[in-house]
A and B are shown apart, each in its own frame.
Chain A
Amino acid sequence: MDLLKRSLAEGIGTLLLVFIGCGTVCMLGESGDLFGIAAAFGLSVMVLIYTLGAVCGCHINPAVSVALCAVRKFPVKDTAAYCAAQCIGAALGALLLIAVMGMEALTVGGLGMTAPAPGVSYFQAFLAEFIGTFVLMLVIMGVAVDRRASPGFAGLSIGGTVLAVILVIGNISGGSINPARTFGPDLIALLFAGSDALWTTFPLYAVGPVLGALCAAFLYRGIAGRENI
């Protein structure tokens, strides 16, 4: 399948992730139901992997695409296209939230934007995002990239990992572990409300997850051996 179609699928996947995940944040954010939010993200990732995994790979996360590229499991050209598609899809997903829920999705729900919790320093939030994405990428390498992995369990394992990670770091950094998932709501908040999150907090959610995913990918390759991935 050509790159354009695969990128389109990747964009749609990220759009749906943001619509469901961040939509749940908008709906449940005030109640503080972190499990509900984590479950929405985890289940979305799981079903999207089973739905789009064969079509485009369903990374729906630039950190994952970049890490796979870094360990030479994914072409550079495809990685650039996927990252662009993921960011566009995430922005459209956030836009769709406003279309469906109205401006309350932004003014009340904050479009599911991520930010360090009160009292949490940038470094703590960075570290939380780093570790969260490290765990996510390590699981992806183990259950999906490794040639010895049992087929068919990737979606379940990775969805469960996303759920667990958000439960741990959700109240620290917001539990993004995905630069596109933060970029989309931040961009739409900038366009509709002049939010400065894209300049102030987004770098944290871009650098932390990418570094975490890179470390996990290289570590797994070092442990498992190049011949097994």
Chain B
Amino acid sequence: MQCYVCKQNGVDRDAVGICIVCGMGLCSEHIVRSDVEIQEGGYPFPSRKLKTAVPRILCPECAKAFGGR
């Protein structure tokens, strides 16, 4: 699989990951890896943040869309 963003720019580059949201193949230059904090609990236990964050890989477009949250 090749990087979709690079392909749009006329460049062939191998993908190293896939966006979890849209499925776009991404090279190391366009991949956006972020750590998502997870809350557990809720009635009747107070919510608390898990010690370990969950890693997530996104493309630049999806990362921008989620960035507002």
B-binding residues in A (CB < 8 A): 1, 6, 49, 53-59, 64, 68, 73-74, 140, 144-145, 151, 154-155
Contact across chains for B44 and A68 when beta carbons are under 8 A apart: yes
Tell me which residues across on chain B come within 8 A of A144, comparing CB atoms: 43-44
Chain B residue at smallest Cβ distance from A50: B43
Tell me which residues across on chain A come within 8 A of B46, comparing CB atoms: 1, 6, 54-57
- List 21 A–B pairs whose Cβ atoms lie within 8 Å, in order of A's numbering: A1-B46, A49-B43, A54-B41, A54-B42, A54-B43, A54-B47, A55-B47, A57-B41, A57-B43, A57-B44, A57-B46, A58-B43, A58-B44, A64-B44, A68-B44, A73-B45, A74-B44, A144-B43, A145-B44, A154-B43, A154-B44
Chain A residue at smallest Cβ distance from B41: A54
Chain A residue at smallest Cβ distance from B39: A54
Chain A residue at smallest Cβ distance from B47: A54
From A1, A6, A53, B43 is in contact (CB under 8 Å) with A53
Q: Is the interface of B mostly helix, strand, loop or mixed?
A: strand
Tell me which residues across on chain A come within 8 A of B45, comparing CB atoms: 57, 73-74
Instruction: Write the nearest CB–CB distance from A151 to chain B, whole angstroms.
Output: 7
Instruction: Write the nearest CB–CB distance from B52 to chain A, whole angstroms.
Output: 19
Tell me which residues across on chain A come within 8 A of B42, comparing CB atoms: 53-54, 151
Chain B residue at smallest Cβ distance from A145: B44
- Chain B 26-43 residues near chain A, CB threshold 8 A: 39, 41-43
Chain B residue at smallest Cβ distance from A58: B43
Chain A residue at smallest Cβ distance from B48: A1
From B39, B43, B47, B48, A155 is in contact (CB under 8 Å) with B43
Tell me which residues across on chain A come within 8 A of B47, comparing CB atoms: 54-55
Tell me which residues across on chain B come within 8 A of A68, comparing CB atoms: 44
Instruction: Write the nearest CB–CB distance from A53 to chain B, whole angstroms.
Output: 3
Q: Which of B42, B47, B48: most chain A CB closer than 10 A?
A: B42
Contact across chains for B44 and A59 when beta carbons are under 8 A apart: yes
Bound-complex Cα distance A200 to B47 (A): 39
Instruction: Write the nearest CB–CB distance from B37 to chain A, whole angstroms.
Output: 14
Tell me which residues across on chain A come within 8 A of B43, comparing CB atoms: 49, 53-54, 57-58, 144, 154-155
Given contacts A53-B42, A54-B43, 14 further A-B contacts (CB under 8 A): A1-B48, A49-B43, A53-B43, A53-B44, A54-B42, A55-B47, A57-B46, A59-B44, A64-B44, A68-B44, A74-B45, A140-B44, A145-B44, A154-B43
Instruction: Write the nearest CB–CB distance from A106 to chain B, whole angstroms.
Output: 32
Bound-complex Cα distance A56 to B45 (A): 7
Bound-complex Cα distance A64 to B39 (A): 23
Bound-complex Cα distance A145 to B46 (A): 12
Instruction: Write the nearest CB–CB distance from A25 to chain B, whole angstroms.
Output: 25
